[in-house]
Structure 1
Amino acid sequence: MIVGALSLTRPTGRPGQGPGRPGTVVPLTTGLIGIALGTLVVTTADGGLGTGNGLGGGVVAVILGLIATALGGRALTRSRRLGRTGPTG
């Protein structure tokens, strides 16, 4: 999630950096991994919250994965749009 926020705030008009930089793909990929692993933990947890089976951590992983994926997707869209039209300024 932190990498996703940083990829949105960093300038995208640096020389030599084309659209789809690795800085925009990292939060997208790690977010999807977080969603998958969180879902796996939630589906295999025996018992409810507070039983020590990791259900709460799995739910948090899914939520943070969704946020990271959204931020990464937004940054990737932004970098592709700027790469197509060129930096202004």
Structure 2
Amino acid sequence: MSVRHLLAATAAALLAGLALAAPAAAAVSVEPAATSYGMTSGRLGPTLTALVGLTGAVIGGLALRPAGRMGSGGRGPIMALAAGLISVVLGGLFAATADGGPGTGNGIVGAFAAVVLGLISMALGGLALGRRSRRTG
């Protein structure tokens, strides 16, 4: 998967998540918040962002391998860094805008998972990039 495809898929997923979140933001409820266990519109964006971070972590792990298609000679480290950065920034944005805590359906847990997975992805991508520069330099 190229960086261009990863960015396009991320943008499409986020636009879909924002489109689903708009009607929920327009409706104001005066009832007490009930615990929600299903996939709500507030959970969709952070969940997709966490999946981007997970994808980046997997690519970063594959980039640390000495040989193969995603080895340290290919684009794997850059893809892991890009996916990690996207995940950290969007996860932080979702965490900052979420109302309520875990279990309210606002996606705070998914946002924190996205930040953690994004940091792991960036760390693995940085390690693989450092390994690649040591080998070529």
TM range, smaller chain:
0.7 to 0.9
> Once the two structures are superposed, what CA deviation does each residue of 1:55-79 show, in whole Å capped at 9, x if it has no partner?
0000000000000000000000000
Gapped regions of structure 2 (runs ≥ 5):
1-56
Are the aligned partners of 1:39 and 1:58 in contact in 2 as well (CA < 8 Å)? yes
Matched, 1:51 2:107: no
Letter in 1 for 2:110: G
Secondary structure at 2:86's aligned position in 1? Answer: helix
The one of 43, 64, 68 aligned to 2:121: 68
Gapped regions of structure 1 (runs ≥ 5):
13-18, 85-89
Equivalent residue for 2:60?
Answer: 4
Letter in 1 for 2:106: N
Are the aligned partners of 1:32 and 1:69 in contact in 2 as well (CA < 8 Å)? yes
Structure possessing the higher relative contact order (Cα contacts under 8 Å, 6 or more residues apart):
1
Output aligned runs, 1:22-61, within 5 Å. Answer: 22-61=75-114
CA distance in 2, matches of 1:82, 1:20: 9
Aligned residues: 78
Q: State percent identity of aligned pairs.
A: 47
Distance 1:20 1:40, change over 3 A: farther
Are the aligned partners of 1:28 and 1:68 in contact in 2 as well (CA < 8 Å)? yes
Are the aligned partners of 1:20 and 1:80 in contact in 2 as well (CA < 8 Å)? no
Poorly superposed stretches of 4+, deviation over 3 Å:
none
Are the aligned partners of 1:35 and 1:63 in contact in 2 as well (CA < 8 Å)? yes
Aligned-residue offset at 1:22: 1.6
